Amino acid sequence: MPRLLLSFLAALATLAALALPAHAGDTAGIEDYAPYQPQTRCAPKAKPGTKVLGRWIVDHEGGAFGGISRPCRSGGTSEHKEGRAFDWTLDATRKKDRQRAAGLLRAVRATDKAGNADAKARRMGVMYIIWNDHMYSAWDEFAAEPYLSSSCKTKKKCSKTLRHRDHMHISLSRRGGKGLTSWYEGRLD
């Protein structure tokens, strides 16, 4: 074959390979950081992505499954009322639970092989995490910030639940809650 034809076929093969869709495990299709999507309606039935994520966390890190849904009649805005928030039962006064929480935060915030920061959290559709008086929000690239519930005047007068010291709260984007982000491919029941 003439050299020009071989070069043309090699270039064509390269273009064809680039046109193939990326597999969910590949880093090419990673999601951007989830924007804040507050509860806008009440549909508390646990969403499929939220259930899978909750089971995965307990299976991989320990702790207990603290629940997803909240009744519509309870006050305030909460992604629990849309079935897309999970409470992972941990105790911030116990060293083992603090280690579990730190392990999960490290895992979801790790940089992947392609250099994408917070790769697993982005693929899961994590919108924000609240744990032990701190909030980690996607819109701030999961940087730890001090957190005090709007229901509390001071940390001292605030319950361990409102301080998120007896559980870690994980809120998902609507796509994450539905299991429509790349991490969920092949994991939904």
Tens of pLDDT, residue by residue over 153-164, are: 999 999 999 999
Q: What's the confidence (pLDDT) of residue 157?
A: 92
| Residue 9 pLDDT > 50 | no
> Residue for token digits 């994991």?
187
How do residues 10-61 score in pLDDT, each as one tens digit?
A: 444 444 443 433 344 444 589 999 999 999 999 999 999 999 999 999 999 9
Q: Are 149 and 56 in contact (CB under 8 A)?
A: no
Q: Where are the domains of the chain?
A: 42-184
Angle formed at CA 60 by CA 35 and CA 51, multiple of 5 degrees: 50
Sorting pLDDT into bands at 50, 70 and 90, what band is 2? low
Q: Per the confidence metrics, is the pTM higher than 0.75?
A: yes
How do residues 109-128 score in pLDDT, each as one tens digit?
A: 999 999 999 999 999 999 99
